[in-house]
Amino acid sequence: MLGRLSIRAKLTVAFAAALILVLALAGLFVYLRVSSGLTEAIDDSLQARASDVAAVVARGEEDEADDRRQSLSGGLFGGEEGFSQILTPGGRVVASTLPPGAGPALDPEQLDRAAGERIVVEGREVPGVEGEARVLGEPASSPDGKVVVVAGASTDDRSEALAGIASAFAIGAPLALLVASGLGYLLAARSLAPVEAMRRRASGITLERSGERLPLPRAEDEIHRLGETLNTMLDRIEAVLER
């Protein structure tokens, strides 16, 4: 199929293919970098919130469940940007900024792991949280024994930001490809213009008019050397015919 295309068309196709690859790699790089940065920002926020809750629990400032709930929902550990919970290793909710009856934000298996080490869970559906949530759980100590501190936040903002980037590339990449391909075709045509000039001159050269030669481009490139070679060949032909 490509063998039937002109040189200009082949160069344009090659240029377009290379540009598609570059745009795809650039889009993937930007998407992954932004995704990584947003996820890191969420994790930093969750870690800071969990550390604050763990510090309060460790100081023993919240001896009663009602006091814990009041402290958690007071604005420092919850709000529109996320939620916090204090859970026992068995899954009982000691305190939570989630709506009453929401239950633990971690399932039993995750809670069991969080009782021994810090874990981060992605894609949790938590009552009272819009969309999916990213949840961090880690062990903490209280005067009453071991507990699990949980901090979570919705990932809707991150998803919207990434969707916006994907949409921008989906719309902008074809337009950029179209414009760049057009410019590539014009550049290829301009680069091959000296060849077309030599072809037109060659079509008018006859034996009746001696001394006619092919025009040479100003640039000392491959086309210039080809023209010189052909002109030298014409010199030899005329020399043979004049003998």
Confidence of residue 81 (pLDDT cuts 50, 70, 90): low
Q: Which of 61-65, 162-166, 198-202 has the lowest mean pLDDT?
A: 61-65
Measured distance CA(80)–CA(78) in Å, rounded: 7
Higher per-residue pLDDT: 141 or 2: 141
- Predicted local confidence at residue 209, as pLDDT: 74
Q: Is residue 33 scored above 90 in pLDDT?
A: yes
Beta strands in the chain (DSSP E): 83-87, 93-96, 119-124, 133-142, 145-154
CATH 3.30.360.10 fits 25-159, yes or no: no
- Predicted local confidence at residue 3, as pLDDT: 60
The overall average pLDDT reported for the chain is 84
Q: Is residue 63 scored above 80 in pLDDT?
A: no
CA distances from 147 to 32, 57, 78, 115, 124 (A): 35, 9, 18, 7, 21
- Predicted local confidence at residue 184, as pLDDT: 83
Nearest to 213 by CA among 230, 196, 197, 225: 230
Claim: this prediction has a pTM higher than 0.75:
no
In this predicted model, what pLDDT tens digit does every residue of 179-238 receive, in sequence order?
888 888 888 888 888 888 888 888 888 777 777 888 888 888 888 888 888 888 888 887
Tokens of 120: 């981060």
- Predicted local confidence at residue 39, as pLDDT: 94
Q: Is residue 76 scored above 70 in pLDDT?
A: no
- Predicted local confidence at residue 75, as pLDDT: 44
- Nearest-Å Rg of the Cα atoms of the chain is 36
